[in-house]
Amino acid sequence: MNGAYLDNASATPVRKEVLDVMLPYFNEHFANPSNVYDIGSEIKQVVEEQRAKVANLINAKPEEIIFTSSGAEANNMAIKGVAFARQKKGKHIIVSSIEHHSVLNSVRFLERLDFEVTFLPVDEHGLIDPARLSKAIRPETILVSIMHANNEIGTIEPISELAANCKENGIIFHTDGVASVGNTQVDVNELNVDLLSLSGPALGAPKGIGALFFNKGVRLMPLIHGGIQENGRRAGTENVPGIVGLGTAAELVSRDLPGTENHCRKLRNRLVNGILDRVEKVTYTGHPDKRLPGHASFCFEAIEGEALIFMLAQAGIYTNTGSACASKALKTSPVLGAIGIRADLAQGSTVFTINGNNTEKEIDYVLEKLPPIVDRLRELSPIWGKEIPEYEKDVCAH
């Protein structure tokens, strides 16, 4: 059957080369790396080799990588870890208003513990203005967290400029790299960040593994307290097969990335141009150029995104309304609200995420199937072709 899996930001199959390397670590080389005897220290060495591979992918040092169970855990660990370690210095944190839930809900938790949080607005493309960040900085600001690339609209933020601003003021800078690492070149030195979160599945590693890069000078309270794993920074027996998966995947991504980026950009452009040519009244959201190479996001007028997702899935085409983590919350996206998309239009949000496994044939299949599905849904829509009343045009609330 024809089809196209274009929801790679939600989930990707583990790469076969990765799974093959992981397998012996489930029941052959199964020892606990914390143990001092031979079969334990052999595994410890394997874990350290993977740490070096992950570090290499983002131009970090091996000792600057902490393995976590997900990108969400890495974000929580960065935000809460810095907040709890530095709270005597100040209790003010700045984040963008389009951060992932794992950042937004971490700072909301801290607000309940008397931290103060500033949510920076973005422009119509989702960009943060460095001057605006400068103005938001106070003497008691201890942490700024601004994502590298946005998962819903693909926009890439000017991280190195934003971070430079903070470094001058002794403020720790964290960036959520979950949407970017694996999809575009990421260099923590170029970005000039103190902390960066990444997720395994985005690289072709399995679910259940992620990592946090931290600059060695950063004081960080553990999120998971306990034993001395990860140099005392993250307790719990190491997920050795997952770590081997992440290291192996990082190595493959390091090797393939420039080619993959070009491939994804080409397919993405074909998809975007094709949709804009064939479908009327559709808004391409996010920044036109400063965006992830494999990311295309649209709002289709007079359509419920969820209905479109379902209809496309029936044709074997998999896409998303926005963030998988919130897709069952059935609210309009705060990200689309932040870039000024009208509430009625935001309902029709659809996100396509392309990776190295996708083909031109899949894109052409989408371009064949999507326009008639949009037409059919619009025929059924009570608002298609009608003037939208003013009160319905409100930008969707945060």
Q: Give the span between the Cα atoms of 146 and 3, in whole angstroms.
A: 35
Closer Cβ to a copy of itself, 34 or 160, answer by number: 34
> Site for a copy of itself (CB under 8 A): which residue of 2, 11, 189, 277?
11
Residue 10 in contact with a copy of itself, rule: CB under 8 A:
yes
Number of residues that bind a copy of itself (CB under 8 A): 77
> Site for a copy of itself (CB under 8 A): which residue of 52, 61, 90, 109?
109
| Touching a copy of itself, residues 228-247 (CB under 8 A) | 228-229, 235-242
299 flagged as catalytic: no
Closer Cβ to a copy of itself, 201 or 286, answer by number: 201
Checking DSSP bridges between strand 172-176 and strand 195-199, what pairing results, if any? parallel
From residue 320 to residue 349, what is the string marking binding to a copy of itself with x (rule CB under 8 A)? Answer: x--xxxxxxx--------------------
The CA angle 28-34-40, to the nearest 5 degrees, is 35
Asked if residue 265 lies in contact with residue 293, where contact means CB atoms within 8 angstroms, the answer is yes
| Touching a copy of itself, residues 13-42 (CB under 8 A) | 13-16, 19, 26-28, 30-32, 34-40
Tell me the closest approach of the beta carbon of residue 196 to a copy of itself, in angstroms.
17
Residue 69 in contact with a copy of itself, rule: CB under 8 A:
yes
Tell me the closest approach of the beta carbon of residue 116 to a copy of itself, in angstroms.
17
Asked if residue 190 lies in contact with residue 162, where contact means CB atoms within 8 angstroms, the answer is no
Q: Give the span between the Cα atoms of 347 and 329, in whole angstroms.
A: 13
Taking contact as CB under 8 A, which single stretch among the options 282-290, 308-316, 348-356, 362-370 is the one that binds a copy of itself?
308-316
| Touching a copy of itself, residues 173-212 (CB under 8 A) | 199, 201, 206-210
Backbone angles phi, psi at 196, to 5 degrees: -145, 130
Active-site position among 166, 299, 325, 396? 325
- For residues 120-152, one letter each, b for 16 or more C-beta atoms within 10 angstroms of the residue's C-beta and e for the rest, the string is bebeebbbbebeebeeebeeebbbbbbbbbbbb
From residue 368 to residue 397, what is the string marking binding to a copy of itself with x (rule CB under 8 A)? Answer: ------------------------------
Say how many C-beta atoms besides its own lie within 10 A of residue 304's C-beta.
16
Total number of residues shown for the chain: 398
Asked if residue 383 lies in contact with residue 303, where contact means CB atoms within 8 angstroms, the answer is no
**Residues with catalytic roles:** 325
